[in-house]
Structure 1
Amino acid sequence: MSFSFFRPSSRSPRSAPPPSDLAKAIRESLLALDTKTAAKALEDVEKNIVLMRQVLSGDGEAEPNLEQVSQLALDICKEDVLSLFVQNLPTLGWKARKDLVHCWCILLGQKVGSTYCCVDYLENHVELLDFLVICYNNKEIALNCGSMLRECIKYPSLAKYILESASFELFFKYVELPNFDIASDALCTFKELLTRHETAVSQFLSAHYEQFFELYEKLLTSANYVTRRQSLKFLSEFLLEAPNSQIMKQYITEVRYLKIMMGLLEDSSKNIQLSAFHIFKVFVANPNKPPEVIDILAKNHEVLLMQLRNLPTSKGGEDEQFEEERDLVISEITRVADLSNAAS
């Protein structure tokens, strides 16, 4: 029997084939992409993906059979179909890719017994995660891969692998891609990686602190306005999260990063100035400022005070809190400068 496209003989068109038969049909139709004419092969693949979507999420008239959904997830892993999904993603048409991403999200969430079988499969085939990351370079499938990656990141083991993989560094490049939609999607995935699993992220940053923030520095000093603004806004949110308190304490002792924030206070964009202030104020408020930080603040206090007084304020109820914080920062810089002058 050929499974390149499942053709039931006694079922209605809406009747679902047995999961094992459908998994084999999907596998064989994907493998046939290398052997048949492109049009015929793609036709079979697309029909099978539609059938898979019907099994996983229903056909509009009937709800999915949960037992069949679980069995299909198991069979898809058994037949190595997940690997074929990823490898053949660039070959598929727009509609088939959209349906495939929909199915991917459902499959990863299928818990069979005590385990997520598709997540387990990916743990044993981590090269597929690397492939999805690299596919941000392909503008035709970049957004599909981004959706698939963010689904993977929901699971701690997969997120941990991506964080610690060599391909993680590619995100620092992707967020500056000239295609705005792809760059924005990559930033969304990047943020998900760094916020979804607090313990894993904290451990990763502790182990790769220097490497990570050296790369991040390039984003903060990028010539691209959107990159500067988005990366600064994210850093402000990220450093102030409780699980990253130790990372923040280390960051605010670094003179090189203080200088970056001082530079961003002079940015032509008012939004960037305000975002930079919310990180700069933490450097100033640190009760354990190292001598190098104190020295920089003291030597530049006149310029800093002028910049702070000229900071824009937003309209609304946040003005009062901002002005209070700004006044405290001004007072602290003045105090540091006075002490430094008295000591000299």
Structure 2
Amino acid sequence: MSFSFFKPSRPKTPQEVAKFIKDSLMALDTKTVVEVRALEKAMEEVEKNFVTMRCMLIGDAEVEPNADQVLQLTQEICKECVIDLLIHKLPVLGWEARKDLVNCWSILLKQKVASTYCCVQYIENHLELLDFLVVCYDNKEIAVNCGNMLRECIKFPTLAKYILESASFELFFKFVELPNFDVASDAFSTFKDLLTKHPDIVSDFLSSHYDEFFDRYEALLTSSNYVTRRQSLKLLSEFLLESPNSQIMKRYILEIRNLKVMMTLLKDSSKNIQLSAFHIFKVFVANPNKPREIKLILTKNHEKLLELLHNLSPGKGAEDEQFEEEKELIIKEIERVARMHR
């Protein structure tokens, strides 16, 4: 009896891998795929090629990735416009293929060729790809995959700046309140990264889009959804109290409507929301340049405010003492303002 053995297949070059990925993704085009079996075969090819891409970029249990091959594959993916296909074909990919793509995405974005992130540069020249990823939050099947890819993009200032200033950014005010909890939570994570990862860019954006941004943000702070109120209030504290946003904060605490929102949140049934609201409310009160209208609101409501503050406590902990000191100062300032304007 004789045995025959298959020769092990020759390892594919980065150029071949990029070409195979491109060809298999293009075969998913619904205009050309007529038979169900043909589509299934095309999908199998995509998944097989994505596994090869993942192994080349990340390695596996047995083999470490080769830095030169990683770089070459990244260059080929940019040169052959495979990035467009990776993003545009996301809605038709299977679960495994999407998972492999998400795992590879951050590696691709981090590759530098002559001090340039070539995939990032490619996206900078095709910014509509970012808009496509944002809009994918409307598709709950792929929303979380797209969210992961977007957050990797947002790590790069130019890409974050584009999303902030694009019409797509407005969609996040809707996405964070979607009925699907997982999708809404993921959208909020991306929204948070956009507003906290690059403080100087965020400061410029808020300066030039102040009114429309805070109009929309107020709707989140006053949402009927507890999670939305709590998350958006906590996030507001994070980016408003960043030092590059000091001018934004000074502007914010001059407006009566913002003070009224914080006073309403101080009365919220949730203690967590009350405490978060206090940390912004105290800035209105402590402001040495309070407008007359703010002083009058504090005076008019001083009894209710003092009662709320006396009953407000973070519980036991290391921060308890500092909180009590701050609260005492705020109570004294409200009393002082009320005496002066009675």
Please report the TM-score for the alignment, with normalisation by the length of structure 1. 0.94
Deviates more, 1:30-39 or 1:128-137: 30-39
Aligned residues: 331
Query: Is the Cα contact below 8 Å between 1:265 and 1:307 reproduced in 2?
Result: yes
Once the two structures are TM-superposed, the CA of residue 335 in structure 1 deviates from its matched residue by: 0.4
User: Does the aligned pair in 2 maintain the 1:123–1:157 contact within 8 Å?
Assistant: yes
Deviation string 1:43-72 (CA, Å, 9 cap, x unpaired) is 011100111111111132121111111111
Distance 1:85 1:278 in 2: 44
Partner residue of 2:167?
A: 166
What whole-Å deviation, never above 9, does each CA across 1:245-287 have from its counterpart, x for those lacking one? 1111111111000000001111111111111111100000000
Say if 2:22 and 2:85, in contact at 8 Å, map to a contact too.
Answer: yes
Percent identical among aligned pairs is 69
Secondary structure, counterpart of 1:33 in structure 2: coil
Q: Which runs of 5+ in 1 are unaligned?
A: 1-9
Structure 2 unpaired stretches of 5+: 1-5
The amino acid of 1:51's aligned partner reads: T
CA drift of 1:78 comes to 1.1
Aligned with 2:20 (options 17, 25, 34): 25
In 1, Cα distance between the equivalents of 2:272 and 2:314?
10
**Residue 16 (structure 1) shift:** 3.4
Q: Deviation at 1:129?
A: 0.2
Work out the CA distance in 2 between the residues paired with 1:340 and 1:258.
18
CA distance in 2, matches of 1:312, 1:266: 13
Which residue identity is paired with 1:161? Answer: Y
- Distance in 2 separating the partners of 1:73 and 1:319: 52
How far 1:310 sits from its partner (Å)? 1.6
- For the aligned residues, what is the CA RMSD? 1.2
Aligned position for 1:12: 8
- 1:238 is displaced (CA, Å) by 1.8
Equivalent pair of 2:196/2:238 in contact (CA under 8 Å): no
Aligned twin of 1:3: none
Residue 288 of structure 1: aligned partner? 289
Moved more, 247-256 or 234-243: 234-243
1:21 partner letter: E
In structure 2, the residue matched to 1:324 is 325
Aligned mates of 1:210, 1:266 — CA distance in 2: 26
Quick one: structure 1 residues 181 and 161, their matched pair in 2 at CA, closer, same or farther if it must change by over 3 Å? same
Distance, in Å, in 1 between the alignment partners of 2:207 and 2:191 is: 18
Q: Using the alignment, how far apart are the partners of 1:260 and 1:327 within structure 2?
A: 22
Matched, 1:53 2:49: no
Question: 1:11: Cα distance to partner?
Answer: 7.3
